[in-house]
Amino acid sequence: DAAEAIKPKIDRHITERTRVVEGLTAAGWHLPDAQANFVYLPTGQHTEALHLDLERQGLVTRPFPGQGIRITISTPDDNDRVLTALGTGPPS
């Protein structure tokens, strides 16, 4: 019943998710298809170190040790911080 009322919020979320995925992909990240309210970075053995680095920058993420990091799509400003923090591409 509330579909029309929440459509603008959904549209903003999809726009932000697309922007984050495009920015990370342009930086060299290889991401699984994102269809939810988050993106997933397959970071393997670098997960713990990257999670700590992001945390030091004030970014809250959900690590899956040895596998990857889940980053929730947020406001444009918060998403810009994520793109800045990860803009150099994946760790090698």
pLDDT given for residue 1 in this prediction: 76
3-class SS of residue 70: strand
Cα–Cα separations (whole angstroms), residue 31 to 20, 22, 56: 11, 10, 23
pLDDT exceeds cutoff 90 at 17: yes
pLDDT given for residue 8 in this prediction: 92
pLDDT given for residue 51 in this prediction: 97
Longest dimension (CA), the chain: 48
- pLDDT digits 0-9 by tens, 37-67: 999 999 999 999 999 999 999 999 999 999 9
